[in-house]
Amino acid sequence: MDYLLFTGASVLEYVAVFAFMFALFRFRITKRLAVTVLTVSLMMSQVSYFTRAIPQIGEMSSFIQLALYIIVLWILFQVPFFYSIVMNFAGFAIVVVVQGLALLAFQFFGGVTADVVKGSVLLGSGVQVLSSLIEIAIAYAIVQLGGGFNFVPTSRRTYTRFNRSNVLILVIILATVMLAATLAYLLGNNFDAYVISACAVFAVTIPAYLYVALRKEYEDAI
């Protein structure tokens, strides 16, 4: 039962991440794309389940999945490797922030700590479902409001110029992920502290990421 609950919540979470990324970067949703997303989401849920079951790498599971996300978007969805990194950082960031805020809300209003949620498949799956619905709502709002970015090409053969904006956004992404991974390793036995620390890191770096992305959007449109 725990396995089915975890798998169902994880699949929904991955679908939500893809929905957010495709909405933010204005990808056209087709039937083939939707089927691929569902298939990949099911496979990724199994990766998540088994990596979290291994104590030695459990705390780094999210970062292992981030790397797999980048490869999947690059190979299956024909997104150039650099832009796959850019897109997946946005998807990773929305999960960290939304789930982090949900966990903090649980603690503030219900007295349920992040460590307690992490130790319960039922509570953990509940947070995943809640966060996923919020992410899908955000993706829907982006589409309805006509927001998002157009600078991501849809062919792997596109030549990527490493101008100032590209270098800056890559530095922001690498620095953020490395810092978050370091915190996950150091605070592996204190999930409450990790949630607060990770939210603080992304609260600082997301505005910088968005600023550079907006500047890149303007530069590419010229």
| Per-residue pLDDT tens digits for 165-219 | 889 999 999 999 999 999 988 887 888 888 889 999 999 999 999 999 998 888 7
Yes or no: say if 62 and 184 are a contact pair by the CB < 8 Å rule: yes
Give the list of residues 6+ apart from residue 181 with CB closer than 8 angstroms, or none.
60, 63
Amino acid at 126: G
Cα angle value 19/25/28 (rounded, 5°) = 65
Tell me which of 157 and 5 has the higher pLDDT.
Answer: 5
Domain of residue 92: give its range: 2-221
Instruction: Report whether pLDDT(220) > 80.
Output: no
pLDDT of residue 159: 67
Give yes or no for a contact between 3 and 49, defined as CB atoms under 8 angstroms apart.
yes
- Cβ contact 95:211 at 8 Å: no
- Residue 103 CB neighbours (<10 A): 26
- Give whole-number Cα distances, 21 to 90, 95, 105, in Å: 7, 11, 25
Instruction: Record the pTM.
Output: 0.89
With pLDDT > 90 as the criterion, what percentage of the chain qualifies?
A: 38
Say how many C-beta atoms besides its own lie within 10 A of residue 75's C-beta. Answer: 12
The number of folded domains in the chain is: 1
What does the pLDDT read at residue 210?
92
Is 114:107 a contact under the CB 8 Å cutoff? yes
Residue 120 CB-half CA count within 13 A: 12
Residues sharing a CB contact under 8 Å with residue 137, sequence separation 6 or more, in sequence order? none
